[in-house]
Amino acid sequence: MKRNLSIAIAAVLLLSTWACSKNIPVDGDGLLITTRRECSVSSFELLGTDFVSVRVGAAVIDTVAQTVTCTVQFGTDLRNLYPQFSLAQDCTLNPKITGLTDFSDLAHPRQWTVISGDRQIKKTYTVTLTVQPR
Protein backbone atom coordinates (compact mmCIF):
# COMPACT_ATOMS: atom_id res chain seq x y z
CA MET A 1 0.00 0.00 0.00
CA LYS A 2 2.72 2.43 1.05
CA ARG A 3 4.78 1.51 -2.00
CA ASN A 4 1.87 2.27 -4.35
CA LEU A 5 1.30 5.64 -2.68
CA SER A 6 4.97 6.61 -3.11
CA ILE A 7 4.87 5.66 -6.77
CA ALA A 8 1.73 7.74 -7.30
CA ILE A 9 3.24 10.82 -5.62
CA ALA A 10 6.45 10.48 -7.61
CA ALA A 11 4.49 10.21 -10.83
CA VAL A 12 2.45 13.33 -10.06
CA LEU A 13 5.60 15.32 -9.22
CA LEU A 14 7.29 14.18 -12.41
CA LEU A 15 4.28 15.08 -14.50
CA SER A 16 3.95 18.54 -12.95
CA THR A 17 7.66 19.27 -13.51
CA TRP A 18 7.36 18.25 -17.10
CA ALA A 19 4.23 20.37 -17.54
CA CYS A 20 6.03 23.49 -16.24
CA SER A 21 9.17 23.20 -18.31
CA LYS A 22 8.11 25.08 -21.44
CA ASN A 23 10.85 25.80 -23.90
CA ILE A 24 10.18 29.54 -24.31
CA PRO A 25 13.29 31.70 -24.54
CA VAL A 26 13.36 34.91 -22.55
CA ASP A 27 16.09 37.47 -22.10
CA GLY A 28 17.61 38.76 -18.89
CA ASP A 29 14.63 41.05 -18.33
CA GLY A 30 12.15 38.22 -18.75
CA LEU A 31 11.09 39.53 -22.15
CA LEU A 32 10.24 37.06 -24.88
CA ILE A 33 12.93 36.44 -27.48
CA THR A 34 11.11 36.04 -30.76
CA THR A 35 12.10 35.40 -34.36
CA ARG A 36 11.51 38.99 -35.45
CA ARG A 37 14.49 40.69 -37.05
CA GLU A 38 13.08 44.21 -37.41
CA CYS A 39 15.29 46.68 -35.57
CA SER A 40 14.31 50.33 -35.73
CA VAL A 41 12.88 53.36 -33.95
CA SER A 42 9.42 54.27 -35.18
CA SER A 43 8.75 57.42 -33.15
CA PHE A 44 10.42 59.63 -30.58
CA GLU A 45 9.00 61.91 -27.90
CA LEU A 46 10.66 64.19 -25.42
CA LEU A 47 8.90 65.38 -22.26
CA GLY A 48 9.88 68.04 -19.77
CA THR A 49 9.63 67.71 -15.99
CA ASP A 50 5.99 68.77 -16.32
CA PHE A 51 5.40 65.77 -18.62
CA VAL A 52 4.54 68.13 -21.47
CA SER A 53 6.24 67.67 -24.83
CA VAL A 54 9.12 70.04 -25.50
CA ARG A 55 9.36 69.19 -29.18
CA VAL A 56 8.91 71.78 -31.90
CA GLY A 57 7.45 69.69 -34.71
CA ALA A 58 7.94 65.97 -35.09
CA ALA A 59 11.29 64.33 -34.51
CA VAL A 60 13.04 63.28 -37.72
CA ILE A 61 13.99 59.60 -37.62
CA ASP A 62 16.43 58.26 -40.19
CA THR A 63 16.48 54.49 -39.88
CA VAL A 64 19.28 54.17 -42.41
CA ALA A 65 21.63 56.68 -40.82
CA GLN A 66 20.26 55.58 -37.43
CA THR A 67 19.67 59.08 -36.21
CA VAL A 68 16.92 60.93 -34.40
CA THR A 69 16.93 64.68 -34.83
CA CYS A 70 14.65 66.83 -32.74
CA THR A 71 14.21 70.55 -32.19
CA VAL A 72 13.16 71.53 -28.68
CA GLN A 73 11.53 74.71 -27.45
CA PHE A 74 13.55 77.70 -26.37
CA GLY A 75 14.12 77.53 -22.64
CA THR A 76 13.91 73.74 -22.42
CA ASP A 77 15.74 72.39 -19.39
CA LEU A 78 18.07 70.04 -21.28
CA ARG A 79 19.35 68.40 -18.10
CA ASN A 80 15.96 67.07 -17.12
CA LEU A 81 14.11 65.40 -19.98
CA TYR A 82 12.16 62.20 -20.37
CA PRO A 83 12.89 60.57 -23.77
CA GLN A 84 10.35 58.09 -25.10
CA PHE A 85 11.06 55.71 -27.99
CA SER A 86 8.61 53.62 -29.92
CA LEU A 87 10.40 50.60 -31.37
CA ALA A 88 9.67 47.94 -33.95
CA GLN A 89 7.80 44.96 -32.50
CA ASP A 90 9.63 42.90 -29.87
CA CYS A 91 12.69 45.20 -29.87
CA THR A 92 14.39 46.35 -26.71
CA LEU A 93 16.43 49.44 -25.93
CA ASN A 94 19.80 49.70 -24.30
CA PRO A 95 20.52 51.47 -22.02
CA LYS A 96 17.09 51.39 -20.48
CA ILE A 97 15.39 54.71 -19.80
CA THR A 98 14.73 54.84 -16.09
CA GLY A 99 13.97 58.50 -15.52
CA LEU A 100 15.17 61.98 -16.31
CA THR A 101 17.96 62.09 -18.86
CA ASP A 102 20.59 64.76 -19.35
CA PHE A 103 20.83 66.07 -22.92
CA SER A 104 22.72 69.23 -22.03
CA ASP A 105 25.97 68.24 -23.74
CA LEU A 106 24.80 69.08 -27.23
CA ALA A 107 28.27 68.47 -28.66
CA HIS A 108 28.06 64.83 -27.59
CA PRO A 109 24.59 63.54 -28.51
CA ARG A 110 23.12 60.68 -26.50
CA GLN A 111 23.02 57.23 -28.05
CA TRP A 112 20.72 54.25 -27.57
CA THR A 113 20.98 50.80 -29.09
CA VAL A 114 17.90 49.11 -30.46
CA ILE A 115 18.00 45.30 -30.26
CA SER A 116 15.79 43.19 -32.49
CA GLY A 117 13.23 40.68 -31.26
CA ASP A 118 15.59 37.76 -31.92
CA ARG A 119 18.31 39.69 -30.03
CA GLN A 120 20.70 39.16 -32.95
CA ILE A 121 20.62 42.61 -34.58
CA LYS A 122 21.74 45.75 -32.81
CA LYS A 123 21.51 49.27 -34.19
CA THR A 124 22.79 52.30 -32.34
CA TYR A 125 20.77 55.49 -32.80
CA THR A 126 22.18 58.92 -32.12
CA VAL A 127 19.72 61.47 -30.74
CA THR A 128 20.65 65.02 -31.65
CA LEU A 129 18.77 67.95 -30.16
CA THR A 130 18.63 71.49 -31.42
CA VAL A 131 17.27 74.29 -29.28
CA GLN A 132 14.84 76.64 -30.95
CA PRO A 133 16.14 80.22 -30.99
CA ARG A 134 14.31 82.82 -28.95
Our CB check for another protein shows the closer of 56 and 121 to be: 56
Our CB check for another protein shows the closer of 29 and 50 to be: 50
Nearest to 90 by CA among 14, 37, 30, 24: 37
DSSP-assigned beta bridge partners for residue 86: 43
Instruction: Kindly report the three-state secondary structure assignment for every residue of 13-68.
Output: HHHHHHHHCCCCCECCCCCECCCCCCCCEEEEEEECCCCCECECCCCEEECCCCEE
Q: Is 99 in the site for another protein (CB under 8 A)?
A: no
The contact pattern for another protein, residues 28-57, with x = CB under 8 A and - = no contact, is --------------------xxxxx-----
The CA distance from 11 to 87, in Å, is 46
Our CB check for another protein shows the closer of 52 and 64 to be: 52
Among the listed residues 38, 40, 69, 77, the single contact to another protein using CB under 8 A: 77
Our CB check for another protein shows the closer of 32 and 97 to be: 97
Q: Is 122 in the site for another protein (CB under 8 A)?
A: no
Amino acid at 31: L
Interface ranges with another protein (CB under 8 A): 48-52, 73-75, 77, 79-80, 100, 132-134
